[in-house]
C-alpha cells in the first residue's frame, strides 16, 4: 500500500486542509476523554457531506485502511480512539453539523451526525419544543456519537434513551453505500429493524451521517429538589410514591451517595448542598409542568408531595429550588461528580444496571466484599437510580500508595463482575463497550448472543474496516 497515493485520493475528495496529518492537529483526536488510551492514525479526515463520507469509505476499502468514526470524542470506554498500529484513519463527523430540517407537524428534527447535542437542544427550544436527551457531556458530544453509543443521561426515566428518541437514520455502509432512512415514520414494520442495529453499534457496523429525532412539547416549568434519604429501600418507595402521585411528569430521579458528594465538594468547593441533614443518599428530583395557568404548579405539587413523604418517614430533609439559578446549582453538583473523580489519580469505573428490586442487595453485599478485599477503598456510587443504573466507581483508599488500582484492579473487577452476574445485571448500562469492556462483553453476554453479534459484524463488515477490535474480539476475520 502506498500511503501517499491513499492520502492524495482522500485529499482529492475533501481537500487537503481537511486531511490532518500534523501531530499538533491530530493530537486531540488520538486520545480518549479519560486519557487512558493513546492511538496513532495515518490521518484525521473531516468530511462535510454524506457523499464525501461514502467516497472516503470506498477509498479506504481500496487500500484496506480501517476507519474509526468519531463525534465529540467524549466516550468513556475508549471507543473512538484508534489503535496503536498507525494503519487506521479517524473520520471525524465534526464538520457535518447542519440541522437539516425541523418538522413541527411531525414533531421531529433532522440533524447531521456531527451536530453537538446542546446545539440540538437549543435549536428545539428556539422553536418552542423540547429535545430531551441530556447528559453532562452535552456541550461536546454529538448526535451521531449519542446514537452510536445509545446514550442515556438524566431524562431516560421519562423520555427513554437515544434509541427511543430516534425515528430514522442515514448511514454509510462498510461498502461505501448510503442507506437512506430519514422519513421520520413512527410506524414502519418492513422487515428487520436496521436502524436499531446501527444504534449502539459504536461505529463498528456503519457511519451514521444524519438522524431524525423526536421532539416533545416544551415544559412550561421545571421544578427540582434535593432530598436526603438515609435508607435505600425508602429511596425506592419515594420513587414509586412520586411516580404514582405526581400529576406533573417525573423526569429525573438521580442518586448521589454521601461519598460522591463529599468528593465533589472537595474538588469543587464553590458548590454547596443546602440540606440541613446530610444523609447516606441525596436524590435530585425533577418534575416538568405543562400547564400555563394551573392552580397547582409543579413546585407546589412537589412541596406537598415531599411533605407527605416526610410524614411517611421516607425522607429526612428536602429543599426545593427557588430559582432557575438554584436548579442549575443542583444539577452542577450532580454533573461535577465525574469531573471530581477525574481529578483523583487512580480510579475504576463500572457503569452497571439492575432490576430495581435487586439493587440494594447488590450494593450492600458488594460494598462489604470490596471493603474486605481492599480495606479503605472508596466507592463513589451515583447514577440514574430511576433507571436502575449505577455509576459504581471506585477510588484508591486515601492513604494508598501509587499504583494501588493498577495492582488491585483485576481483583476488584472479579468481585464486581461476579456480583453483576449474580444479580443478573448489565456490565454496561449506557456507556457502551468500546475497548475498555470488550473482554467483559465476551465473558458476560452469553455465547449465543456473542456469536450472533460476531455473525452480524461479519455479514455487514466482512473486511473488518469499521472500528475494528472495538466491542467485539473478532475471530480470525
Ligand atoms: P465519540 O466519543 O466520538 O464516539 C463514541 C462511539 O461512537 C465510538 O465508538 C465512535 O466510533 C462512535 N461514533 C461516533 N460518531 C459516530 C457516527 N456518526 N457514526 C458511527 N459511529 C460513531 N453517556 C451516557 O450515556 N450518559 C451520560 O450521562 C453520560 N455522561 C457523560 C459525562 C461526561 C462528563 C463524559 C465525558 C461522558 C459522558 N457520557 C455519558 C459518555 C459520552 O458522552 C457518550 O457516550 C456520548 O454519547 C458520546 O458521544 P460523542 O459524540 O462524544 O462520541
Ligand atoms: C453521568 O451520569 C455519566 O454523569 C458519567 O454517565 C458517569 O462518571 C461516570 O462514571
Ligand atoms: Zn450516566
Q: CA angle, 461 as apex, 457 and 462 as ends, to 5°? A: 95
Residue 74 near ligand 1, beta carbon < 6 Å? yes
Alpha carbon of 134 to ligand 2 centroid (Å): 12
3-92 is classed CATH 3.30.43.10: yes
- The residue-averaged pLDDT of 416-432 equals 98
99-217 is classed CATH 3.40.50.720: no
Residue 412 near ligand 1, beta carbon < 6 Å? no
| 39, 81, 95, 148, best to mutate for ligand 1 pocket (most atoms within 8 Å of CB) | 148
Residue 425 near ligand 1, beta carbon < 6 Å? no
pTM over 0.95: yes
Can you tell me which atom of ligand 2 is nearest the CA of 338? Answer: 8
Closest ligand to the CA of 174: 1
- The residue-averaged pLDDT of 392-414 equals 95
Q: What is the assigned CATH class of domain 221-340?
A: alpha beta
Nearest-angstrom CA–CA distance, 330 and 226:
7
Residue 148 near ligand 1, beta carbon < 6 Å? yes
Binned at pLDDT 50, 70 and 90, residue 294 comes out as low
**pLDDT value of position 299:** 86
- Tell me whether domains 3-92 and 99-217 share a fold: no
Number of residues that this document lists for the chain? 477
455 pLDDT exceeds 90?
yes
DSSP per position, 124-138? HHHTTEE---B-TTT
Q: Alpha helix (H) ranges present in 343-445?
A: 356-373, 404-422, 438-444
CB 387 within 8 A of CB 164: no
For residue 138, give the C-alpha cell: 452535552
Nearest-angstrom CA–CA distance, 164 and 160:
5
Which residues have CB under 8 Å from 82's CB, separation 6+? 30, 39, 40, 41, 68, 88, 89, 90
Nearest-angstrom CA–CA distance, 117 and 148:
13
Alpha carbon of 283 to ligand 3 centroid (Å): 14
- The residue-averaged pLDDT of 167-172 equals 98
- Residue nearest atom 6 of ligand 2, based on CA coordinates: 153
**pLDDT value of position 275:** 93
Alpha carbon of 110 to ligand 2 centroid (Å): 27
Residue 472 near ligand 1, beta carbon < 6 Å? no
User: What is the residue extent of each domain of the chain?
Assistant: 3-92, 99-217, 221-340
Each residue of 110-148: pLDDT tens digit? 999 999 999 999 999 999 999 999 999 999 999 999 999
Each residue of 323-342: pLDDT tens digit? 989 999 999 999 999 999 99
What's the chain's average pLDDT? 96
HSE at residue 60, side-chain half, CA atoms within 13 A, is 32
Residue 207 near ligand 1, beta carbon < 6 Å? yes
Binned at pLDDT 50, 70 and 90, residue 295 comes out as low
Binned at pLDDT 50, 70 and 90, residue 276 comes out as confident
At residue 375, the 3 state secondary structure works out as coil
247 pLDDT exceeds 90?
no
Alpha carbon of 416 to ligand 2 centroid (Å): 18
292 pLDDT exceeds 80?
no
- Residue nearest atom 10 of ligand 2, based on CA coordinates: 391
- Residue nearest atom 9 of ligand 2, based on CA coordinates: 338
Closest ligand to the CA of 334: 2
Can you tell me which atom of ligand 2 is nearest the CA of 349? Answer: 10
- Residue nearest atom 5 of ligand 2, based on CA coordinates: 338
Percent of the chain topping pLDDT 90: 93
Longest CA–CA span in the chain (Å) reads: 75
Ligand 2 pocket by Cβ (under 6 Å): 136, 338, 349, 351, 391, 393
Binned at pLDDT 50, 70 and 90, residue 157 comes out as very high
**pLDDT value of position 477:** 46
**pLDDT value of position 278:** 80
**pLDDT value of position 476:** 58
Chain centroid to CA 272:
26
102 pLDDT exceeds 80?
yes
- The residue-averaged pLDDT of 76-93 equals 98
405 pLDDT exceeds 50?
yes
- The residue-averaged pLDDT of 234-261 equals 94
Residue 359 near ligand 1, beta carbon < 6 Å? no
Q: At what angle do helices 298-311 and 232-245 cross, to 10 degrees?
A: 140
**pLDDT value of position 114:** 99
Binned at pLDDT 50, 70 and 90, residue 378 comes out as very high
Can you tell me which atom of ligand 1 is nearest the CA of 206? Answer: 20
Percent of the chain topping pLDDT 70: 99
Residue 200 near ligand 1, beta carbon < 6 Å? no
Each residue of 25-47: pLDDT tens digit? 999 999 999 999 999 999 999 99
Amino acid at each position: 500500500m502506498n500511503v501517499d497515493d491513499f492520502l492524495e485520493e482522500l485529499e482529492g475528495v475533501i481537500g487537503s486542509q481537511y486531511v490532518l496529518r500534523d501531530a499538533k492537529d491530530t493530537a486531540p483526536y488520538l486520545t480518549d476523554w479519560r486519557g487512558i488510551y493513546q492511538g496513532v492514525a495515518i490521518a484525521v479526515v473531516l468530511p462535510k457531506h454524506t457523499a464525501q463520507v461514502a467516497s472516503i469509505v470506498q477509498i479506504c476499502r481500496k487500500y484496506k485502511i480501517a476507519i474509526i468514526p468519531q463525534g465529540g470524542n467524549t466516550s468513556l470506554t475508549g471507543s473512538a480512539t484508534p489503535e496503536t498500529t498507525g494503519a487506521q484513519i479517524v473520520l471525524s463527523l465534526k464538520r457535518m453539523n447542519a440541522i437539516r430540517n425541523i418538522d413541527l407537524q411531525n414533531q421531529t428534527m433532522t440533524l447531521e451526525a456531527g451536530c453537538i447535542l446542546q446545539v440540538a437542544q437549543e435549536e428545539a427550544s428556539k422553536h418552542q419544543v423540547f429535545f430531551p436527551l441530556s447528559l453532562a457531556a452535552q456541550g461536546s458530544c454529538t448526535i451521531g456519537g449519542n446514537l452510536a453509543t445509545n446514550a442515556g443521561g438524566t431524562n431516560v426515566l421519562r423520555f427513554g434513551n437515544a434509541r427511543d428518541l430516534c425515528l430514522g437514520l442515514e448511514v454509510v455502509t462498510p461498502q461505501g453505500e448510503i442507506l437512506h432512512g430519514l422519513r421520520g415514520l413512527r410506524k414502519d414494520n418492513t422487515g428487520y429493524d436496521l436502524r436499531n442495529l446501527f444504534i449502539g453499534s459504536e461505529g463498528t457496523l456503519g457511519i451514521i451521517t444524519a438522524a431524525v429525532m423526536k421532539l416533545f412539547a416544551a415544559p412550561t416549568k421545571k421544578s427540582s429538589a434535593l432530598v436526603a434519604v438515609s435508607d435505600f429501600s425508602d429511596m425506592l418507595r419515594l420513587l414509586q410514591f412520586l411516580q404514582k402521585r405526581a400529576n406533573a411528569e417525573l423526569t429525573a430521579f438521580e442518586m448521589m451517595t454521601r461519598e460522591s458528594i463529599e468528593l465533589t465538594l472537595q474538588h469543587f468547593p464553590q458548590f454547596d448542598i443546602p440540606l440541613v441533614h446530610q444523609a447516606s443518599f441525596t436524590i435530585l428530583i425533577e418534575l416538568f409542568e405543562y400547564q400555563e395557568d394551573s392552580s397547582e404548579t409543579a413546585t407546589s405539587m412537589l412541596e406537598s408531595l415531599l411533605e407527605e413523604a416526610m410524614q411517611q418517614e421516607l425522607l429526612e430533609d428536602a429543599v426545593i429550588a427557588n430559582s432557575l439559578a438554584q436548579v442549575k446549582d443542583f444539577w452542577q453538583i450532580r454533573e461535577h461528580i465525574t469531573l471530581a473523580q477525574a481529578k483523583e489519580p487512580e480510579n475504576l469505573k463500572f457503569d452497571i444496571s439492575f432490576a430495581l428490586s435487586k439493587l440494594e442487595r447488590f450494593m450492600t453485599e458488594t460494598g462489604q466484599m470490596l471493603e474486605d478485599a481492599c480495606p479503605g477503598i472508596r466507592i463513589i456510587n451515583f447514577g440514574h437510580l430511576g433507571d436502575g443504573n449505577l455509576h459504581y466507581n471506585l477510588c484508591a483508599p486515601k492513604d494508598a500508595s501509587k499504583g494501588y488500582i493498577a495492582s488491585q484492579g483485576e481483583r476488584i473487577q472479579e468481585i464486581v463482575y461476579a456480583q453483576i452476574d449474580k444479580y443478573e445485571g448489565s456490565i454496561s448500562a449506557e456507556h457502551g463497550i468500546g475497548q475498555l469492556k470488550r473482554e467483559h462483553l465476551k465473558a458476560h453476554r452469553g455465547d449465543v448472543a456473542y456469536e450472533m453479534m460476531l455473525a452480524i459484524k461479519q455479514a455487514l463488515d466482512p473486511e473488518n474496516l469499521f472500528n475494528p477490535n472495538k466491542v467485539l474480539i473478532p475471530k480470525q476475520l
